[in-house]
Amino acid sequence: MTRVDEILAHTHEPKGVLSGDEKAALEHVRAMMRSRRSDSVNARADAGKFARFYKSRAWRAARYMFLKSQPRPLRCRCCGATAVHARLVVDHIIPIKKDWSRRLDQTNLQLLCNDCNLAKASSDSTDWRASSAVHET
């Protein structure tokens, strides 16, 4: 039972009516819950911002320029998989959730297969380009 449920269970007033102390306790619990939310004030708006970015013309142009500059055959910088064996994606080394200003920076991009990209997630900043010389044969 959560603290909110406890407050509501001990209400002696008619259903849905809280005393002043109960209202204060409930507001305190709500404030604690709000403080535990993500740092972003508009987390839902941020989620839409990222979805819009990946559909934007600017991202598509940056992605195209990056892919154009890559040596052939295209390979995952982590595991060495080629486009024949896996779906390749352009990954942000420093995730855009951490540094929005580097979203179009060509030096912040690397080529990964979809599996490696999903495993890396947005919390990891591993740069696989430096160790990819093994896979370039």
Confidence of residue 121 (pLDDT cuts 50, 70, 90): confident
What's the pLDDT at 64?
A: 95
Within 8 A by CB and 6+ apart from 125, the residues are 93, 94, 95, 98
More confident call, 10 vs 132: 10
More confident call, 116 vs 21: 116
Check pLDDT > 70 for residue 48: yes
Q: At what angle do helices 43-54 and 57-69 cross, to 10 degrees?
A: 50
What's the pLDDT at 62?
A: 94
92 forms beta bridges with 109
More confident call, 84 vs 4: 84
Confidence of residue 134 (pLDDT cuts 50, 70, 90): very low
In the chain, domain spans: 3-35, 43-136
Tokens of 35: 């403080």
What's the pLDDT at 63?
A: 94
Q: Measure the CA–CA gap between 105 and 69, rounded to whole angstroms.
A: 14
Q: What is the pTM of this model?
A: 0.60
CB atoms within 10 A of CB 116: 22
Confidence of residue 133 (pLDDT cuts 50, 70, 90): very low
